[in-house]
Amino acid sequence: MLHIKSLDEGLEVFKALGSDIRVEIIKILLNESGMNMNELASRLNITNGALTSHIKKLEESGIVKVSSESAGHGNQKVCSVNLDKILIDIQNKPKEDNVYTTDIKVGLFSDYSVFPTCGLASTKKLIGELDDTRYFAHPDRYEADILWFTKGYVEYAVPNFVPFNQKIDEISITAELSSEAPGINNIWPSDIYFYLNDILLGTWTSPGDFGDVKGFFTPDWWFHNWNQYGLLKTLVVNHDGSFIDGIKISDVTIDRFNLTSKSPIKLKLEVPETADHVGGLTIFGKGFGNYNQDINVKMKYSQLD
Protein backbone atom coordinates (compact mmCIF):
# COMPACT_ATOMS: atom_id res chain seq x y z
CA MET A 1 0.00 0.00 0.00
CA LEU A 2 1.25 3.44 -0.95
CA HIS A 3 -0.56 6.35 0.71
CA ILE A 4 -0.01 9.66 -1.11
CA LYS A 5 -1.16 12.50 1.13
CA SER A 6 -1.03 15.34 -1.39
CA LEU A 7 -0.89 15.85 -5.15
CA ASP A 8 2.62 17.31 -4.88
CA GLU A 9 3.80 14.24 -2.96
CA GLY A 10 2.53 11.98 -5.75
CA LEU A 11 4.25 13.70 -8.70
CA GLU A 12 6.82 10.94 -9.29
CA VAL A 13 4.13 8.25 -9.20
CA PHE A 14 1.93 10.21 -11.61
CA LYS A 15 4.88 10.65 -14.00
CA ALA A 16 5.69 6.94 -13.80
CA LEU A 17 2.10 6.02 -14.65
CA GLY A 18 1.84 8.63 -17.41
CA SER A 19 3.06 6.22 -20.09
CA ASP A 20 1.15 3.53 -21.95
CA ILE A 21 4.17 1.25 -22.08
CA ARG A 22 4.87 1.56 -18.35
CA VAL A 23 1.25 0.73 -17.57
CA GLU A 24 1.61 -2.29 -19.87
CA ILE A 25 4.77 -3.32 -17.97
CA ILE A 26 2.84 -3.27 -14.69
CA LYS A 27 0.02 -5.35 -16.17
CA ILE A 28 2.46 -7.97 -17.51
CA LEU A 29 4.34 -8.19 -14.22
CA LEU A 30 1.06 -8.64 -12.32
CA ASN A 31 -0.14 -11.37 -14.68
CA GLU A 32 3.20 -13.21 -14.63
CA SER A 33 3.99 -12.60 -10.92
CA GLY A 34 7.29 -11.06 -12.00
CA MET A 35 9.58 -11.50 -15.01
CA ASN A 36 13.26 -11.06 -15.85
CA MET A 37 14.39 -8.09 -17.93
CA ASN A 38 15.23 -10.09 -21.09
CA GLU A 39 11.83 -11.80 -21.17
CA LEU A 40 10.04 -8.54 -20.48
CA ALA A 41 11.88 -6.69 -23.27
CA SER A 42 11.06 -9.52 -25.67
CA ARG A 43 7.39 -9.51 -24.66
CA LEU A 44 7.17 -5.74 -25.27
CA ASN A 45 9.28 -5.89 -28.45
CA ILE A 46 11.61 -3.15 -27.25
CA THR A 47 15.36 -3.03 -26.60
CA ASN A 48 16.84 -3.77 -23.19
CA GLY A 49 18.11 -0.19 -23.03
CA ALA A 50 14.63 1.23 -23.57
CA LEU A 51 13.18 -1.15 -20.99
CA THR A 52 15.85 -0.17 -18.45
CA SER A 53 14.77 3.47 -18.69
CA HIS A 54 11.10 2.58 -18.07
CA ILE A 55 11.92 0.21 -15.21
CA LYS A 56 14.09 2.88 -13.56
CA LYS A 57 11.15 5.31 -13.44
CA LEU A 58 8.84 2.64 -12.02
CA GLU A 59 11.44 1.60 -9.45
CA GLU A 60 12.15 5.19 -8.32
CA SER A 61 8.44 5.76 -7.73
CA GLY A 62 8.18 2.59 -5.63
CA ILE A 63 5.79 0.80 -7.98
CA VAL A 64 8.24 -1.87 -9.17
CA LYS A 65 11.16 -3.55 -7.43
CA VAL A 66 14.16 -5.16 -9.13
CA SER A 67 16.08 -8.03 -7.61
CA SER A 68 18.98 -10.19 -8.79
CA GLU A 69 18.60 -13.95 -9.12
CA SER A 70 21.22 -16.50 -10.08
CA ALA A 71 20.41 -18.43 -13.23
CA GLY A 72 22.63 -20.32 -15.65
CA HIS A 73 25.92 -18.51 -16.18
CA GLY A 74 25.15 -15.36 -14.22
CA ASN A 75 22.71 -13.15 -12.43
CA GLN A 76 19.42 -12.03 -13.94
CA LYS A 77 17.50 -8.94 -12.97
CA VAL A 78 13.93 -9.87 -12.08
CA CYS A 79 11.17 -7.25 -11.95
CA SER A 80 8.00 -7.48 -9.87
CA VAL A 81 5.24 -5.14 -8.76
CA ASN A 82 5.92 -3.75 -5.30
CA LEU A 83 2.42 -2.44 -4.44
CA ASP A 84 -1.11 -3.76 -4.21
CA LYS A 85 -2.90 -0.42 -3.74
CA ILE A 86 -2.30 3.32 -4.18
CA LEU A 87 -4.42 5.71 -2.10
CA ILE A 88 -4.35 9.39 -2.99
CA ASP A 89 -5.63 12.25 -0.83
CA ILE A 90 -6.63 14.91 -3.36
CA GLN A 91 -8.01 17.60 -1.05
CA ASN A 92 -5.60 19.21 1.41
CA LYS A 93 -6.87 19.81 4.93
CA PRO A 94 -7.33 23.54 5.60
CA LYS A 95 -5.07 25.05 8.23
CA GLU A 96 -6.92 26.19 11.34
CA ASP A 97 -5.88 29.08 13.57
CA ASN A 98 -5.50 28.62 17.33
CA VAL A 99 -5.47 24.83 17.00
CA TYR A 100 -2.77 22.46 18.27
CA THR A 101 -2.71 18.99 16.70
CA THR A 102 -0.73 15.91 17.67
CA ASP A 103 -0.75 12.16 17.08
CA ILE A 104 -0.25 9.45 19.70
CA LYS A 105 1.12 6.11 18.60
CA VAL A 106 -1.06 3.22 19.83
CA GLY A 107 1.77 1.68 21.85
CA LEU A 108 2.65 4.89 23.72
CA PHE A 109 0.23 4.33 26.61
CA SER A 110 1.46 5.45 30.02
CA ASP A 111 -0.62 3.07 32.16
CA TYR A 112 -2.63 -0.09 31.61
CA SER A 113 -4.48 -3.00 33.18
CA VAL A 114 -5.59 -5.59 30.63
CA PHE A 115 -6.89 -9.15 30.52
CA PRO A 116 -6.65 -11.84 27.80
CA THR A 117 -7.43 -12.25 25.05
CA CYS A 118 -4.86 -9.53 24.46
CA GLY A 119 -1.83 -8.59 22.45
CA LEU A 120 0.16 -6.01 20.55
CA ALA A 121 1.74 -5.85 17.12
CA SER A 122 3.65 -3.54 14.85
CA THR A 123 3.04 -3.47 11.11
CA LYS A 124 5.87 -6.02 10.76
CA LYS A 125 5.34 -8.55 13.56
CA LEU A 126 3.65 -9.52 16.80
CA ILE A 127 5.18 -8.04 19.93
CA GLY A 128 5.85 -10.79 22.44
CA GLU A 129 3.46 -13.66 23.07
CA LEU A 130 -0.29 -13.62 22.60
CA ASP A 131 -2.42 -13.31 25.76
CA ASP A 132 0.65 -12.58 27.91
CA THR A 133 -0.14 -9.27 29.64
CA ARG A 134 3.51 -8.79 30.64
CA TYR A 135 4.31 -7.60 27.12
CA PHE A 136 2.19 -4.51 27.69
CA ALA A 137 5.15 -3.40 29.85
CA HIS A 138 7.85 -4.52 27.41
CA PRO A 139 9.94 -1.73 25.80
CA ASP A 140 8.94 -2.98 22.34
CA ARG A 141 5.35 -1.92 23.07
CA TYR A 142 6.33 1.56 21.91
CA GLU A 143 6.45 0.13 18.38
CA ALA A 144 2.87 -1.18 18.57
CA ASP A 145 0.48 -0.06 15.82
CA ILE A 146 -2.43 -2.16 17.09
CA LEU A 147 -3.44 -3.48 20.51
CA TRP A 148 -6.38 -5.43 21.87
CA PHE A 149 -7.76 -6.79 25.15
CA THR A 150 -10.95 -8.36 26.52
CA LYS A 151 -11.39 -6.05 29.52
CA GLY A 152 -9.38 -3.43 31.37
CA TYR A 153 -7.91 -0.14 30.15
CA VAL A 154 -5.06 1.72 28.53
CA GLU A 155 -4.25 5.33 29.41
CA TYR A 156 -2.30 7.87 27.36
CA ALA A 157 -0.48 11.02 28.42
CA VAL A 158 -1.61 13.55 25.80
CA PRO A 159 1.18 15.92 24.68
CA ASN A 160 0.17 19.48 25.52
CA PHE A 161 2.14 22.06 23.55
CA VAL A 162 -0.57 24.67 23.37
CA PRO A 163 1.14 28.12 23.41
CA PHE A 164 1.78 29.73 26.79
CA ASN A 165 -0.96 31.78 28.46
CA GLN A 166 -3.69 30.01 26.52
CA LYS A 167 -6.71 28.09 27.80
CA ILE A 168 -8.08 24.99 26.07
CA ASP A 169 -11.64 25.43 24.80
CA GLU A 170 -12.12 22.11 23.04
CA ILE A 171 -10.42 18.73 22.74
CA SER A 172 -11.18 16.44 19.81
CA ILE A 173 -9.82 12.87 19.78
CA THR A 174 -10.18 10.60 16.75
CA ALA A 175 -9.29 6.89 16.72
CA GLU A 176 -10.21 3.71 14.88
CA LEU A 177 -11.82 1.32 17.37
CA SER A 178 -13.62 -2.01 17.55
CA SER A 179 -14.52 -4.72 20.04
CA GLU A 180 -12.29 -7.74 20.75
CA ALA A 181 -13.85 -11.18 20.30
CA PRO A 182 -12.12 -14.57 20.41
CA GLY A 183 -11.29 -14.74 16.72
CA ILE A 184 -13.67 -12.34 14.97
CA ASN A 185 -17.37 -11.59 15.30
CA ASN A 186 -19.05 -8.64 13.60
CA ILE A 187 -21.87 -8.81 16.14
CA TRP A 188 -19.98 -8.54 19.43
CA PRO A 189 -21.06 -5.42 21.36
CA SER A 190 -18.66 -3.80 23.78
CA ASP A 191 -19.16 -0.75 26.03
CA ILE A 192 -16.10 1.47 25.76
CA TYR A 193 -15.70 4.13 28.47
CA PHE A 194 -13.79 7.36 27.80
CA TYR A 195 -12.08 9.32 30.59
CA LEU A 196 -10.26 12.64 30.60
CA ASN A 197 -8.06 13.22 33.66
CA ASP A 198 -9.95 10.42 35.46
CA ILE A 199 -13.37 11.99 34.84
CA LEU A 200 -15.79 9.83 32.86
CA LEU A 201 -16.90 11.60 29.70
CA GLY A 202 -19.29 8.89 28.58
CA THR A 203 -19.48 5.60 26.72
CA TRP A 204 -19.86 4.26 23.22
CA THR A 205 -20.96 0.72 22.36
CA SER A 206 -18.88 -0.84 19.62
CA PRO A 207 -21.12 -3.15 17.58
CA GLY A 208 -18.50 -5.77 16.81
CA ASP A 209 -15.02 -7.09 16.13
CA PHE A 210 -14.87 -6.68 12.37
CA GLY A 211 -13.30 -9.36 10.22
CA ASP A 212 -15.66 -9.85 7.27
CA VAL A 213 -13.15 -8.27 4.86
CA LYS A 214 -9.47 -7.39 5.09
CA GLY A 215 -8.69 -3.96 6.49
CA PHE A 216 -7.63 -1.59 3.73
CA PHE A 217 -4.24 -0.94 5.37
CA THR A 218 -3.94 -4.12 7.45
CA PRO A 219 -0.63 -5.86 6.56
CA ASP A 220 -0.71 -8.91 4.31
CA TRP A 221 0.94 -11.10 6.98
CA TRP A 222 -1.88 -10.42 9.47
CA PHE A 223 -4.02 -13.48 10.23
CA HIS A 224 -7.30 -13.54 8.30
CA ASN A 225 -9.36 -14.61 11.33
CA TRP A 226 -8.17 -11.68 13.48
CA ASN A 227 -9.44 -8.09 13.83
CA GLN A 228 -9.23 -6.46 10.40
CA TYR A 229 -10.61 -2.96 10.86
CA GLY A 230 -12.62 -0.71 13.18
CA LEU A 231 -14.87 2.32 13.06
CA LEU A 232 -13.42 5.83 13.08
CA LYS A 233 -14.84 7.57 16.15
CA THR A 234 -14.42 11.21 17.14
CA LEU A 235 -14.73 12.19 20.81
CA VAL A 236 -15.21 15.92 21.43
CA VAL A 237 -15.27 17.78 24.74
CA ASN A 238 -16.21 21.47 24.55
CA HIS A 239 -18.21 24.14 26.40
CA ASP A 240 -21.49 22.38 25.56
CA GLY A 241 -20.64 18.87 26.77
CA SER A 242 -19.08 15.63 25.53
CA PHE A 243 -19.91 14.10 22.16
CA ILE A 244 -19.18 11.03 20.02
CA ASP A 245 -19.53 11.78 16.31
CA GLY A 246 -21.70 14.78 17.16
CA ILE A 247 -24.06 12.83 19.46
CA LYS A 248 -24.04 14.04 23.06
CA ILE A 249 -22.92 11.38 25.54
CA SER A 250 -22.77 13.51 28.72
CA ASP A 251 -22.99 17.01 30.17
CA VAL A 252 -19.29 17.01 31.14
CA THR A 253 -17.84 20.18 29.62
CA ILE A 254 -14.29 21.35 29.03
CA ASP A 255 -14.81 24.01 31.72
CA ARG A 256 -14.78 21.32 34.39
CA PHE A 257 -11.09 20.66 33.75
CA ASN A 258 -9.71 24.24 33.72
CA LEU A 259 -7.12 23.20 31.14
CA THR A 260 -4.33 25.57 30.12
CA SER A 261 -0.96 25.30 28.40
CA LYS A 262 0.46 24.04 31.72
CA SER A 263 -2.07 21.28 32.36
CA PRO A 264 -1.25 17.56 32.21
CA ILE A 265 -3.86 15.71 30.15
CA LYS A 266 -4.63 12.01 30.37
CA LEU A 267 -6.92 10.00 28.11
CA LYS A 268 -8.16 6.59 29.23
CA LEU A 269 -10.13 4.02 27.23
CA GLU A 270 -11.66 1.25 29.33
CA VAL A 271 -13.91 -1.77 29.12
CA PRO A 272 -14.75 -2.40 32.80
CA GLU A 273 -15.90 -5.81 33.97
CA THR A 274 -19.05 -4.10 35.32
CA ALA A 275 -20.14 -2.95 31.84
CA ASP A 276 -23.34 -4.32 30.35
CA HIS A 277 -21.37 -5.49 27.32
CA VAL A 278 -17.86 -6.66 28.14
CA GLY A 279 -16.72 -7.22 24.58
CA GLY A 280 -13.18 -5.90 24.70
CA LEU A 281 -11.37 -3.19 22.79
CA THR A 282 -9.10 -3.02 19.75
CA ILE A 283 -7.27 0.20 18.87
CA PHE A 284 -5.99 0.44 15.29
CA GLY A 285 -3.06 2.71 14.49
CA LYS A 286 -1.21 3.68 11.35
CA GLY A 287 -0.69 0.68 9.08
CA PHE A 288 -3.79 -1.18 10.28
CA GLY A 289 -7.52 -0.99 9.62
CA ASN A 290 -9.18 1.36 7.14
CA TYR A 291 -7.88 4.82 8.09
CA ASN A 292 -4.08 4.65 8.39
CA GLN A 293 -3.84 6.98 11.37
CA ASP A 294 -2.70 6.91 14.96
CA ILE A 295 -4.76 8.44 17.77
CA ASN A 296 -5.26 12.01 16.61
CA VAL A 297 -5.72 14.84 19.12
CA LYS A 298 -6.79 18.38 18.26
CA MET A 299 -7.02 21.19 20.83
CA LYS A 300 -8.65 24.56 20.21
CA TYR A 301 -7.38 27.31 22.47
CA SER A 302 -7.78 31.02 23.24
CA GLN A 303 -6.13 33.70 25.34
CA LEU A 304 -6.41 33.33 29.12
CA ASP A 305 -8.55 36.02 30.72
Percent of the chain with pLDDT over 70: 96
- Tens of pLDDT, residue by residue over 165-198, are 999 999 999 999 999 999 899 999 999 999 999 9
Note whether 129 and 66 are same-domain residues. Answer: no
Q: Average of pLDDT values for 72-81? A: 77
First-to-final CA distance of the chain: 48
Note whether 82 and 107 are same-domain residues. Answer: no
Indicate which CATH number applies to the domain containing 223: 2.60.120.260
Note whether 73 and 113 are same-domain residues. Answer: no
Note whether 12 and 130 are same-domain residues. Answer: no
Note whether 146 and 275 are same-domain residues. Answer: yes
Note whether 275 and 197 are same-domain residues. Answer: yes
Q: What range defines the domain where residue 59 resides?
A: 2-87
Q: Which of 61, 87, 113 is the last residue of a domain?
A: 87
4 vs 39 pLDDT, higher one: 39
Q: Residue 70 above 80 pLDDT?
A: no
Note whether 53 and 155 are same-domain residues. Answer: no
Number of domain units in the chain: 2
CA pair distance 14, 9, nearest whole angstrom: 10
Query: Residue 71: pLDDT band by 50, 70, 90 thresholds?
Result: low
- Tens of pLDDT, residue by residue over 92-108, are 666 678 999 999 999 99
- Tens of pLDDT, residue by residue over 194-227, are 999 999 999 999 999 999 999 999 999 999 889 9
